[in-house]
A = this chain, B = another copy of it.
Amino acid sequence: MNPPRTGRVWSPVVTPFADDLAADLRRFTAHCRWLLDNDVGLAVFGTNSEANSMTVGEKRALIDTLAEAGITGEQLMPGTGSCAIGDAVELTRHAVDNGCAGVLMLPPFYYKGVSDEGLYRYFAEVIERVASPSLKVYLYHIPPVSQVPLTLDLIERLHRTYPDTIAGIKDSSGEWSNTQALIEAFGGEIDVFAGSEHFLLNTLRAGGVGCISATANVNPGPIASLAHTWQEADADTRQAELTALRREFERFPMIPALKAATALYANDAAWRRVRPPLVELDDAQCQALKQALDARGFAMPGRAG
């Protein structure tokens, strides 16, 4: 396939919260800078960002905060999908106005069992209302959470109608066969991202672009490194290491575990907080996570302090 439009590895940036649960702008900006220093793009407002636990106003303000900190739009791929078209349009427009590389769009996820026709109309309505040649939409397939899958037929129809706007897809189905089918169907035309580094090497070898992964929040350097040097001889070994580390996180609820690791390895307890309905890891869980990560020599170099 052609070179990807964007970076190969993105992180759904975890969002730090203050004790009143407001977004913590200082910690957020610091974390974003560290990710960029490690060659990982900022897919802010993803599932692992607790994005749907924030209002549109809160998310707009976070984009503004990054802009004021000099973090430019091309390093950003905000999640903007929402149940309500009005919310999706408002946040997508704000992303476009800030020159974002793209937006990662969930389907509307309240109603279940909806038709491809209905989902097509939703995405088309958002695209038509935003009405910008700068808009690049990355579709977000995450049926284990959204419970609303995006079929190949739907993606094909959207891409046919909006070839300059539909730029890619993130596949968080957790099924390699689906990622493979997406690459076979669209790999020459749109950027296919695996939903985690589990399938990073497979994705790159098949002609996909890279991954957008929760654990890129804590292990960005090694993931980005594999994405750029995947044709080297030790690629399988490095993939196995990434996978083994990721599995340590998967033994816990992912978002609380990412935040606990950041709290532990950046030595900043405030990072543990999550918004309801999530619950932070308890002390025993933190200890178990630390023990497992220490045993693998895990670190977050440059992140402390």
Contacts and interface: CB of A to CB of B under 8 A. Distances in A.
16 contacts: A47-B110, A52-B83, A52-B111, A53-B83, A54-B84, A109-B109, A111-B277, A112-B144, A115-B277, A118-B276, A118-B277, A121-B277, A122-B277, A125-B276, A147-B147, A148-B277
A55 B86 contact: yes
Contacts of A53: 83-85, 108, 110
A55 B122 CA distance: 15
Contacts of A107: 277
Interface in A271-289: 275-279
Contacts of A125: 21, 276
A68 interface: no
Interface string A53-76: 111111000000000000000000
A161 to B, nearest CB: 14
Interface residues of A, number: 39
Contacts of A56: 55
A30 interface: no
Contacts of A83: 52-53
Number of copies of chain A assembled together = 2
7 pairs of A and B residues whose beta carbons are closest in the complex:
A118-B277, A122-B276, A121-B276, A52-B110, A55-B86, A114-B277, A52-B83
A85 B276 contact: yes
Interface string A106-145: 0111111011011101100100000000000000000011
A107 B52 CA distance: 13
A278 B144 CA distance: 21
A24 interface: no
Nearest to A117: B279
A87 interface: yes
Interface string A262-278: 00000000000001111
A260 to B, nearest CB: 15
A110 B48 CA distance: 12
Interface in A169-189: none
A303 to B, nearest CB: 26
A52 B108 CA distance: 9
Contacts of A145: 110-112
A127 to B, nearest CB: 12
Given A112-B144, A125-B21, A145-B111, A52 B277 contact: no
B55 A277 contact: no
A172 B275 CA distance: 26
B52 A112 contact: no
Contacts of A146: 110
A120 to B, nearest CB: 8
Contacts of A278: 111, 114, 118
Nearest to A59: B84
